[in-house]
Structure 1
Amino acid sequence: MTTPAASGPAPVPDPWRLLDEASTILAVHAHPDDESLSTGALLASLAASGTRVVLVTATRGEEGEIVAGAIEPGDTRALEEIREAEIAAATAALGIAERHWLGTAPALAQASAPRRFRDSGMRWVREGLAGPADTAGPDSFSLRPLDEAVGDLAALIESVRPDVILGYDDEGTYGHPDHVRAHHVAVGASARTGVPLLEVASTLPQVPGSDPRILERDHPGTAETVRRAVDSYRTQLTVVGDADGGIAIRHVGGQDDVVLLRTGLHARG
């Protein structure tokens, strides 16, 4: 299961057909909560249909801000411990029984010592371009050697044997450096193992179905499941209520957003 490295994702003209036919999928995400915010409805739908859904998360979200009042007075746990508990609750709600941390076996390259990829944080370098936070160190996910993470993900692929990998496109949802790095890691591991990568579109067209390069699908019946998963992340966001096409939330920074119950996948041919 080896192929030469590639600079970009291989052609996938019909991503939904590949996903429908897959018995095992491996979802690659950067932080706890990304799996629910970016792909919650899709993963819940897959799990409910009997597809084996495996999740790998690169970091524990150590640099995330905290919603005021989300942590009880006297709770002395480090933020990463709290976010580990949050992702456990969220993935249970989504029906995901298998999850791993990148850098921890089996998501660890052979003969490598266990490693921990730290949340890079984020700052805006200029309008439209995000970079790691000023506090990011050499152990941050976006700053560590790319080959390390690619090797770790390839090892997990060899262990799990997924039919497809599900990851971000090159925009990384909103340009977070860890999301962009996760995209490049998934591209590299896909090329190394030969397992096709399906890219979730960061932005859906305003008129559904108007962009032939993005194939969209609704996930009916997933609203309550996604709401429970998203609500698990009390340190990061607040569930506001229902919204047209999804769940209305408010991020820790005060930004209003909608967790969509619809997914677009890139068709590349």
Structure 2
Amino acid sequence: MLAVHAHPDDESLATGALLAELSARGVRVVLVTATRGEEGEIVPGSVPAHGSRALEEIRAGEIDAAARTLGVAERHMLGEPPALAPDAAARSYRDSGMTWVREGLAGPSPDAGPDSFSLRPMDEATADLAALIEAVRPEAVIGYDDAGTYGHPDHVRAHHVSAAASARAGVPMLEVASTQDAEGFSWREQPASLEAVAAALACYRTQLTVLGTRPAVAGAAGADAVPAVLVRHVGGQDEVIAMRTGLRLSGPAR
């Protein structure tokens, strides 16, 4: 399986339970990330005040640790070989940043530059991802649905790039539901992934704080029926990461 994500930490927040389950079952999981998360806010005190490392370097270390915890077999950056179109020079897709449109819904940042992932030519990213698909030859590509979890412009662009590249390569795409009440998805419960997801999320000290875990709620349905990790994001928002994933098949079936 090839999982496509926009920033470091997205793989653990949006698909951690799924990736950990797949890896535990012996499935080879490959991760590609579009940006280095350069525009992300930082949890106060998580980075030394007089440190010399750039944020993208710190976040690279975080995602390396999280990917190992989830059992990811290999990790790549979009725009670098093998996730680079043939004969193209290596390129970097910058974090586009975002602004809050309303609670729970993000929109484009007015400061996004021409090198940002959401504004660079989509054909470039599509060609780069198609090259990785050709190199990895996955059974399916795992990506966001068209809502892009919470509307972040890089997540929405990642959805469109994933859909275009998987269609070009003739590989099915599994879209991950953005919300726990989304309709039209098949839901999988992954309670055994709880420990791995909690540990993976704890790797992201600059982005969030793991508050603890919650057991399944007896007699409950949906997200409450499975264990969950409780996190507080850098902006102060609390989120329940349920060990449950909604999937929808798109693209050519095999």
Whether TM exceeds 0.5 here: the answer is yes
SS at match of 2:195: helix
What is residue 264 of structure 1 aligned with on the other side? 246
The 4+ residue runs of structure 1 with deviation greater than 4 A are 125-129
Instruction: Provide the C-alpha distance between the structure 1 equivalents of 2:100 and 2:211, rounded to a whole number of angstroms.
Output: 27
What is residue 51 of structure 1 aligned with on the other side? 27
Q: CA deviation at 1:74?
A: 3.3
Residues 130, 181 of structure 1: CA spacing in aligned structure 2 closer, same or farther, 3 A cutoff?
same
- For 2:127, give the aligned amino acid: G
- For 1:243, give the aligned amino acid: R
Residues 225, 125 of structure 1: CA spacing in aligned structure 2 closer, same or farther, 3 A cutoff?
closer
Q: Deviations along 1:54-104, whole A, 9 cap, x unmatched?
A: 000000000000000011343211100000000001001111120100000
- Aligned-residue sequence identity (percent) comes to 65
Partner residue of 1:37 out of 7, 10, 13:
13
Residues 83, 109 of structure 1: CA spacing in aligned structure 2 closer, same or farther, 3 A cutoff?
same
Instruction: Provide the C-alpha distance between the structure 2 equivalents of 1:53 and 1:266, rounded to a whole number of angstroms.
Output: 18
Unaligned runs of 5+ in 1: 1-24
1:230 aligns with 2:206: no
Q: What's the Cα RMSD here?
A: 1.7
- For 1:218, give the aligned amino acid: E
Structure 2 counterparts to residues 115-130 of structure 1, below 5 A: 115-124=91-100, 130=106
- For 1:258, give the aligned amino acid: V
Q: CA deviation at 1:128?
A: 7.5
CA contact (8 A) 2:172 2:249 kept: no
- TM-score (normalised: structure 1): 0.86
What is residue 69 of structure 1 aligned with on the other side? 45
What is residue 248 of structure 1 aligned with on the other side? 230
- For 1:219, give the aligned amino acid: Q
Residues 127, 254 of structure 1: CA spacing in aligned structure 2 closer, same or farther, 3 A cutoff?
closer
1:214 aligns with 2:189: no
Q: CA deviation at 1:203?
A: 1.0
SS at match of 2:192: coil
What is residue 84 of structure 1 aligned with on the other side? 60
CA contact (8 A) 1:240 1:248 kept: yes
SS at match of 1:28: strand
Instruction: Provide the C-alpha distance between the structure 1 equivalents of 2:49 and 2:135, rounded to a whole number of angstroms.
Output: 41
How many residues are treated as equivalent by the alignment?
240
Instruction: Provide the C-alpha distance between the structure 2 equivalents of 1:257 and 1:107, rounded to a whole number of angstroms.
Output: 32
Partner residue of 2:177 out of 201, 208, 212:
201
Q: CA deviation at 1:214?
A: 1.3
SS at match of 1:44: helix
CA contact (8 A) 2:173 2:249 kept: no
SS at match of 1:52: coil
Instruction: Provide the C-alpha distance between the structure 1 equivalents of 2:100 and 2:231, rounded to a whole number of angstroms.
Output: 22
Instruction: Provide the C-alpha distance between the structure 2 equivalents of 1:78 and 1:110, rounded to a whole number of angstroms.
Output: 30
1:155 aligns with 2:119: no
Higher relative contact order structure (alpha carbons within 8 Å, sequence separation ≥ 6): 1
- TM-score (normalised: structure 2): 0.90
Structure 2 counterparts to residues 176-191 of structure 1, below 5 A: 176-191=152-167
SS at match of 1:222: helix
CA contact (8 A) 1:215 1:267 kept: no
CA contact (8 A) 2:174 2:250 kept: no
